[in-house]
Amino acid sequence: MKPEIRKFVTHVEDVLVEGGKPADPPLRIAALATVLRNPWAGRGFVEDLRPEIHALAPALGAEMVKRLMPLADGVPAEAFGKTAIVGVNGEIEHGSALIHTLRFGNYLRDAVSSSEFIPFTNKRGGPGNSITFPLRHITKGGARSHFLTVEFSIPDAPAPDEIIIAIGIATGGRPHARIGDRYSDMEEMKHDQTVRPAPS
């Protein structure tokens, strides 16, 4: 069994200026979306999704990562994320089945040398629905500088019996990030008794 793919769509944005100040270096956010036929649509309630997961997820992961990584134009990725949008004739579980498996996600992890959790969204929607998903640092989950969002849309997808699967990367964090991170907060709070009362 192979994924029945209708098309691939790429999204790239280069942030050159933020807050009126040049971004040095510029930030590139890149994403690749795959529009494919939902293999479970029209079959009623399917109890066991594993045969299709095993057959389709590795092929999707390998092909999508192969197409995504060159969009970074040779710059190492520092953040990543993923999403699934299921057409209205499917279940959210159908999209989740294809992205929430190591058989899919490990291709992206390996490509960016990460063993971290990949942030995600999954939902149901119609054509033109916003493809919106978070990114986070590939190795430092608490690095708020790399809390980013990918957002774009495909006017004719997903059709009722389709699924959009998308993955994304960023070559850095937000330009001029300056709010600290979870780790610095934890260190400060050890010494700041006004934030949380000390145990009695």
pLDDT digits (tens, 9 = 90+) for 91-147: 999 999 999 999 999 999 999 999 999 999 999 999 999 999 999 999 999 899 999
pLDDT at 197: 53
pLDDT at 32: 98
What ranges do the domains of the chain cover?
5-191
Question: Exposed (0-12), middle (13-18) or buried (19+): which is 177, by Cβ within 10 Å?
Answer: middle
pLDDT mean over 24-28: 96
Q: Tell which residue, 70, 68, 23, has the closest CA to residue 172.
A: 23
> Taking a C-beta distance cutoff of 8 angstroms, is the pair 4, 36 a contact?
yes
CATH class of 5-191: alpha beta
